[in-house]
Amino acid sequence: MNSAPAFVQKVALITGASRGLGRVLAGFVAKQGYALIVMARNEADLQAAAKEFAAPGVPVVSIPGDVSVPSDRLRMLAAVKRYGRIDPLPPLENASRDTFLRVFDVNTLAPLALVREALPLLTRARGLVVNITSDAAVGGYPGWGVYGASKAALELVSKTLAAELKDRDVAVVSVDPGDMRTQMHQDAYLGQDISDRPLPDVTLPFWAWLLSQPPMKVSGMRYQAQAAVWEVAA
């Protein structure tokens, strides 16, 4: 864990940063000069990733933990304050109540809780919240019902937050990164060849564009990072 400097112009907080899209995105924003606060559940993978992020010379604070655990979120926010800113699922008919609660806790309630807890920092920095959604939120895919429902809920939460936080100059968007060749997708399609899916790097042009926009200009929108037209019509 590296020490934070006295002042940095840009700070990015990224969860799930040890692999897949989270890792690619963290590496990308590090190259843009952002200081990083990163969290993931696997400590070894996170530390390995953090070494890559720090290579360009940007400060990185890596925090092993689970964003659905309140104490882990508090540790992440404590790190942000140092800068002064800010598996496969069963068919829906067989999904247990516990499965629903766990998936919604991680995919919907935890992001909302993190925004609420970070709101003073977000307000001070006029920050941008990016919630990662999925085409499963609108697709009705077999086997993805619980996950898709949690992401659909997250999209509504994001759009509502964008409206409620507008007067505080805090922006909120939802981004569907598209189908990618990640471990999560391989776990969801056990035994299948997913080599035809692109790597997460394919989304980098979109992230470069999004981070160049005035946050309030994009707030409340849903984006598809791999589509020919990124903005999804309401």
Q: What is the pLDDT of residue 6?
A: 40
Of 228, 220, 221, the residue nearest 202 (C-alpha): 228
pLDDT tens, position by position, 169-191: 999 999 999 988 887 777 676 66
Q: What was the pLDDT predicted at 9?
A: 57
- Those residues whose C-beta lies under 8 Å from the C-beta of residue 108, and which sit 6 or more positions away, are 150, 151, 153, 154, 157
- Strands (E) across the chain are located at 11-15, 35-40, 60-64, 128-132, 171-176, 222-224
Q: Is-contact 171 127, C-beta < 8 A?
A: yes
Angle between helices 145-164 and 110-125 (to 10 degrees): 30
Q: What is the pLDDT of residue 86?
A: 58
Domains and CATH numbers, the chain: 1-85 (3.40.50.720), 89-234 (3.40.50.720)
Token look-up 């507008």 returns 166
Where is average pLDDT lowest: 71-75, 94-98, 216-220? 94-98
Helices and strands: H and E segment counts in the chain: 10, 6
**What strands lie across the sheet with 60-64, from one edge to the other?**
11-15, 35-40, 60-64
**Contact yes or no for 152/103 (Cβ under 8 A):** no
pLDDT at 104: 94
Roughly what angle, to the nearest 10 degrees, separates helices 70-81 and 110-125? Answer: 10
3-class SS of residue 35:
strand
Q: Give the pLDDT confidence score for residue 54 in this predicted structure.
A: 79
Average pLDDT estimate for 119-143: 93
Q: Write out pLDDT tens, residues 84-101.
A: 665 455 688 888 898 899
Q: What is the pLDDT of residue 7?
A: 43
C-beta of residue 86 within 8 angstroms of C-beta of residue 118 = yes
Per-residue pLDDT for 110 more than 60? yes
For position 80, what pLDDT does the model report? 80
Question: Which of 8-12, 57-61, 200-204 shows the lowest mean pLDDT across its residues?
Answer: 8-12
pLDDT at 3 over 50: no
d(CA 57, CA 1): 13
